């Protein structure tokens, strides 16, 4: 299993930059990324990110270039730089196609042509994904931010239909991906607030729809170690589940045995602990009071727990 690129220790969101700067230069960001790579490697992570320092979002990039057929925007900027800077597996995160469409609609305002934008996004994403994978990116994570409120409001009129419509677009784009055997595609299902809501009984149809997306990994912002993991039994057997249990908003380190016990319960729910991975819950943010050193200790804790449960981080 250690050769199957399972990445049992994963990073689900952004990293805190090593210093505060309102408008850092490109050279400064390059140095931040290099320092982030050093910290991730020192912690023992097998797959690393650029901390999401370089880019404000794919939707903004697509708006700037006008949704025209142009070469992929991120291959050289993110992927190639990371591949030159490290020999570890490289991960790049993007909004899911439906989430990018939602962002574009929000920014464009009245008169937005959703059908035209969706068609253009499908082409743009095909180029982005093909370019990243061809460059040697090991892992692409798609963030389903468009679903967070819809999942909470699923019982309200129109919410389930909106989830299904968005998921159909995501499934069409992600299902068309042809990737190397070693490459991994993940989908993050985030839930808002300090106490995210996850089902304690029957899995709602909207969440099940997302569980069925054509991806390898589902990244879930679980948020607390005393969660009821029973709903994970609904995850299809061909998918690995990344459980976000390390709190990325507070300095205090989790008790390892408590996290290990939570992983035990999650493993019982999915039926196979090798179908699990561990991550922080969401990205690290300086406005939560965390420092660069706090973040380093959290990453070291993540890998320590991973090694204790799985025996390897790969």
Could you give the domains of the chain?
26-310 (3.20.20.210)
Q: Which two tokens stand for residue 214?
A: 């054509």
Cα separation, 87 vs 40, whole angstroms: 12
Contacts of 253 (CB under 8 A, 6+ apart): 297, 298, 301
pLDDT in tens, 76-107: 677 888 999 999 999 999 899 999 999 888 88
Instruction: State how far the Cα of 252 lies from the Cα of 4, in Å rounded to an integer.
Output: 33
Percent of the chain past pLDDT 90, that is, above it, reads 67
Report d(CA 282, CA 244) in Å as an integer: 7
Give the tens place of pLDDT for each residue, 25-70.
989 999 999 999 999 999 999 999 999 887 655 556 665 555 655 5
Label residue 3 by pLDDT band (50, 70, 90).
very low
Q: Which helix (H) or strand (E) holds 164?
A: helix 159-175
* Mean pLDDT taken over the chain: 89
The pLDDT of residue 163 is above 60:
yes
CA 212 vs CA 129, 205, 307: distances in Å: 20, 11, 29
**pLDDT value of position 41:** 97
pLDDT digits (tens, 9 = 90+) for 100-121: 999 888 887 788 899 998 998 9
- The DSSP code sequence of 28-55 is HHHHHHHHHHHHHHHHT-SEE--TT-S-
User: Does residue 126 surpass a pLDDT of 50?
Assistant: yes
Task: Decide: residue 191, CB within 10 A, 0-12 exposed, 13-18 middle, 19+ buried.
Answer: buried
Q: Which of 273, 170, 186, 290 is nearest to 229 (CA)?
A: 273
Phi, psi angles (nearest 5°) of residue 300: -65, -40
> Which helix or strand (DSSP H or E) is residue 184 part of?
strand 184-189
């Amino acid at each position: 299993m250690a050769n199957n690129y399972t990445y049992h220790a994963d990073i689900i969101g952004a990293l805190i930059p090593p210093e505060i700067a309102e408008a850092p230069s490109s050279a400064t960001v390059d140095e931040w990324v290099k320092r982030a790579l050093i910290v991730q490697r020192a912690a023992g992570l097998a797959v690393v990110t650029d901390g999401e320092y370089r880019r404000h979002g794919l939707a903004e990039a697509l708006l700037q270039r006008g949704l025209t057929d142009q070469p992929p925007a991120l291959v050289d900027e993110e992927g190639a730089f990371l591949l030159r800077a490290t020999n570890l597996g490289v991960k790049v995160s993007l909004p899911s196609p439906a989430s990018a469409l939602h962002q574009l609609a929000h920014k464009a305002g009245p008169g937005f042509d959703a059908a035209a934008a969706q068609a253009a996004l499908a082409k743009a994403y095909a180029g982005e994904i093909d370019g990243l994978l061809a460059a040697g990116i090991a892992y692409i994570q798609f963030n389903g931010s468009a679903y967070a409120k819809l999942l909470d409001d699923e019982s309200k009129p129109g919410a389930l239909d909106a989830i299904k419509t968005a998921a159909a677009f995501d499934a069409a784009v992600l299902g068309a991906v042809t990737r190397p055997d070693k490459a991994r595609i993940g989908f993050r299902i985030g839930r808002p607030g300090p106490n995210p809501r996850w089902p304690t009984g029957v899995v709602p149809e909207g969440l099940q729809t997302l569980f069925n997306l054509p991806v390898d990994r589902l990244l879930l912002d679980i948020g607390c170690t005393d969660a009821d993991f029973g709903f994970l039994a609904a995850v299809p057997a061909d998918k690995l589940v990344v459980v976000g249990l390390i709190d990325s908003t507070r300095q205090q380190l989790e008790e390892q045995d408590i996290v290990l016990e939570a992983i035990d319960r999650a493993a019982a729910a999915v039926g196979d602990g090798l179908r699990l991975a561990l991550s922080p819950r969401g990205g690290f943010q300086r406005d939560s009071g965390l420092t660069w050193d706090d973040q380093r200790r959290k990453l070291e804790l993540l890998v320590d727990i991973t090694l204790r449960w799985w025996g390897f981080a790969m």
